Structure 1
Amino acid sequence: MRYRRVLAWTTVVAAALAAAPAAAPAERRPSCPRLSQRLDWYGDNRAHLQQVVDERGSCAGRGGRPVAVFDWDNTVTRNDVTDATISWALRHDQILRPASWRDTSAWLTDAAGTALTDACGTDVPVGAPLPTSTRPRCTDEILEIRENGRTVSGAAAFAGQWNHRRTVPQYAWVPRLFAGHTVAELSSYAREARAEALAAPLGATRTLGTHTVPAYVRYYDQQRDLIGTLRRAGFDVYIVSAGSEPVTEVWARGVGIDARHTVAIRSVLDRRGRITTRNQGCGGVPVNRGEAIPYIDGKRCWINQQIYGVDGAAAWDRQDRRHRPAIAGGDADTDVTFVADATGAHLVLNRNKSEIMCRAYDDADGRWLVNPMFIDPLPPKPDPYPCSTGAYNAPDGSRAPVRRADGSVVPDRPDTVH
């Protein structure tokens, strides 16, 4: 009798199970947001990125919010948005005369200070707009120092000591050109420059003084799609740039990234809310004159400090896997440290920059993805990257071999993705 009861119960349960819908297997879970199939990526880069989205996104049921971090200039956009803003400001007389050009950088040389004073003049009061639109010599000096770190006559514009993996004086100098303006004013200039650059034809240039500079900027459609896909998949997406933060914030909004998720060079403001010649610090470095900007190792520091809450000197160190980005993307040596820290994919747009391309082509963990620039890609570099001798940017400014985590030297690598 007991056996018949068990058999009857088993029959009922079996019938009920048969009538109920089958449990969905893992592969039939709602799929993660998909990258667009209409946009071209090199090789199987899209598939690799999609795999990380699928494995790390909220749709995978892992919990938490994975992080993705991207450089901005020439990573999310073609051309430099801070340079576009400088160009607009020079053509609209929006650089204010400093009391002394030497005050604008801890490393500016006497030769550069004299060249700027001679070219830009002293006939307008301190704090008043310089007439750069009608003084091409002034524009020339500013652009030559910004672009090449020297004066028009060829003299070094910066001298002294700095950690070359934490800052570069000509990058740190740029936000100081807007000293005396409020953040709201600088943001308005960035919006004007943005509208102008997006409206300019692809490939357009303009002449400022004797310099020919890009007149256009474009968002990369692939990067816009990637960022949007990551956000829909539950990623916290950040921008970390060595540009001016108010300018980068204006452009980042175009891909849905708000100010809280945008990190760039942060100027200290005075009591009236005006930009000063000092920067906020990172990794135990206090308010400073440019010693710790988001540049090479400085980008890791700012990511660790602002995203993961790592305080003090520890922010300069590589963190454990739980406190590193899942995806990181960049285009230049200034990005190499944080891009290498990523645990899921290291995306590199090929701009022929030696240290990051040595890391990318070495592909030590099998997760490096090299892609040509999406607009007007560069031709192949004719010679191999000098990974074994001089591609690494040493803190003292010298060049050294690129080494793997185990200390072995990366051999020279040919340029194969273009």
Structure 2
Amino acid sequence: MRYRSVFAWTLAAAAALAAAPPAAPAERANCPRLSGSWYGDNRAHLQQVIDDRGTCAGHPGSHPVAAFDWDNTVTKNDVTDATLAWALRHDKILRPATWKATSEWLTDAADTALTAACGTGVPMGAPLPTATDTRCTDEIFEIREHGKTMGGAPAFAGDWNHRRTVPQYAWVPQLFAGHTVAELTSYARRARAEVLAAPVGSTRTLGTHTVPAYVRYYDQQRELIRTLQRAGFDVYIVSAGSEPVTEVWSRGVGIDARHTIAIRSVLDRYGRITTRNQGCGDVPASRGEAIPYIDGKRCWINQEIYGVRGAAAWQRQDRGRRPALAAGDADTDVTFVGDATGAHLVLNRNKGELMCRAYDDADGRWLINPMFIEPLPRERELYPCSTSAYNEPDGGGGPVRRPDGSIVPDQKDTVF
């Protein structure tokens, strides 16, 4: 594994916490201080977690964990989509043997649509001319964005656990099959330079799709990560994007590759990306059955950070093997953000299950913040927490339940 386990640190921290007296007020005054503009009392609550859990609390052997989603949590806009958009505009997608081979859930309708749009004139393994062939670009991006063909047919079908994966997320790394990690990294770097230079709010046309042309690091999140690191926290990124792409971006907030967890492609013997992804827990390598998505993010955190193996990696761990702070913006983050023991930081993007948990605030530790750039307006009066906001494993919706089994009532959207 590329990541060292913090289980041993956690045991040492627990012993230190039991033996050491609380830090005196004078000592806490020297703790790293969080700056920046935050909604309401959020900065004070985050500072309290930093003061209570970090080394400045008088426990120098402790290494508490903080875990952040990436896209729209640390940055405004999606960096994997930005890289895919750049690749499509620069003919970097290689023609697969068959489109069906890219995903085990790709439908016949999607295979037919992609074959018709992208053609068969390019040899297998050669670049598709997506910079000029807007039909091909449109079909690929529509499937990625909406899980449908341009004609409206479902692009993915079959059985998968909807709390462990979503085929259109897993499909993006699969589209880069045949490239090396170094090549994909170089595309991500060039895309990063381009979108950071583009004005905030700008868009571009990709085929017939209008997509964001810019990405920005959130200054507040960059400062929070820096402050946590200065206070002795091990800060990790846990993303449902492509890992080489996310690694390029995470360096910009001082997080190295060892602390960046995302979709990990299986490489062939020549070091090229394949359509298979590494597995988690008791799920072996597959074509995307266990990516860092909803419960999958918990599994990857448990496995890669805390060294939990097998089926147990899907289960909530005891307090000593859970992040002190976790941050996210979407339903894909709800499980690991809910696992945090000190603070659950949520950026409001109107995502039902996550916002139901956040507004219910069952443990008094949920912090809701509007998006720092171009915040979204209120989408609805109430979230349907009592009926349909929960993402069921079969893809349906159900009531959101607290740990004791009680149903969360519908919640009013108030922070936006």
Structure 2 residue matching 1:118: 3-state secondary structure: helix
Amino acid paired to 1:398 = G
Shift of 1:32: 1.0
Amino acid paired to 1:72 = W
Q: Aligned residue for 1:199?
A: 197
Q: Aligned residue for 2:45?
A: 48
Shift of 1:383: 2.4
Q: Aligned residue for 2:160?
A: 162
The answer as to 2:81 corresponding to 1:87 is: no
Q: Aligned residue for 2:215?
A: 217
Task: Report the Cα distance in structure 2 between the residues aligned to 1:406 and 1:322, rounded to whole angstroms.
Answer: 21
Q: Aligned residue for 2:12?
A: none
Select 1:281's aligned residue among 251, 255, 279.
279
**Structure whose CA Rg is larger:** 1
Amino acid paired to 2:309 = D
Taking only aligned residues, the RMSD between alpha carbons, in angstroms, comes to 1.0
Amino acid paired to 1:349 = L
Q: Aligned residue for 2:236?
A: 238
Task: Report the Cα distance in structure 1 between the residues aligned to 2:379 and 2:156, rounded to whole angstroms.
Answer: 29
Shift of 1:194: 0.2
Structure 1 residue matching 2:131: 3-state secondary structure: helix
Shift of 1:177: 0.7
Amino acid paired to 2:163 = R
After superposition, give the CA deviation of every residue in 1:218-239 in whole Å (9 maximum; x if it has no partner): 0000000000000000000000
Q: Aligned residue for 2:34?
A: 35
Structure 1 residue matching 2:411: 3-state secondary structure: coil
Residues matched between the structures, number: 393
Task: Report the Cα distance in structure 1 between the residues aligned to 2:95 and 2:148, rounded to whole angstroms.
Answer: 20
Task: Report the Cα distance in structure 2 between the residues aligned to 1:102 and 1:381, rounded to whole angstroms.
Answer: 37
TM-score (normalizing by structure 1): 0.93
Amino acid paired to 1:153 = G
Q: Aligned residue for 1:334?
A: 332
Select 2:253's aligned residue among 248, 252, 255.
255
Shift of 1:380: 1.2
Task: Report the Cα distance in structure 1 between the residues aligned to 2:379 and 2:405, rounded to whole angstroms.
Answer: 26
Amino acid paired to 2:53 = R
Structure 2 residue matching 1:371: 3-state secondary structure: strand
Q: Aligned residue for 1:5?
A: none
Task: Report the Cα distance in structure 1 between the residues aligned to 2:285 and 2:396, rounded to whole angstroms.
Answer: 27
Shift of 1:31: 1.6
The answer as to 2:109 corresponding to 1:100 is: no
Amino acid paired to 1:122 = T
Mind listing any 5+ residue stretches in structure 1 that lack a counterpart?
1-24
The answer as to 2:144 corresponding to 1:146 is: yes
Structure 1 residue matching 2:120: 3-state secondary structure: coil
Amino acid paired to 1:216 = Y
After superposition, give the CA deviation of every residue in 1:88-129 in whole Å (9 maximum; x if it has no partner): 000000000000000000000000001001101111110000
Amino acid paired to 1:33 = P
Mind listing any 5+ residue stretches in structure 2 that lack a counterpart?
1-22
Task: Report the Cα distance in structure 1 between the residues aligned to 2:238 and 2:380, rounded to whole angstroms.
Answer: 31
Shift of 1:259: 0.3
Which runs of structure 1 show a deviation greater than 6 angstroms over 4 or more consecutive aligned residues? none
Task: Report the Cα distance in structure 1 between the residues aligned to 2:245 and 2:266, rounded to whole angstroms.
Answer: 15
- The percentage of aligned residue pairs carrying the same residue is 80
Shift of 1:28: 1.2
Shift of 1:81: 0.0
Shift of 1:342: 0.1
Structure 2 residue matching 1:87: 3-state secondary structure: helix
Amino acid paired to 2:89 = R
Task: Report the Cα distance in structure 2 between the residues aligned to 1:383 and 1:415, rounded to whole angstroms.
Answer: 6
Structure 2 residue matching 1:85: 3-state secondary structure: helix
- Give 1:3-152 correspondences, 5 Å limit: 26-29=24-27, 31-36=30-35, 39-62=36-59, 63-152=61-150
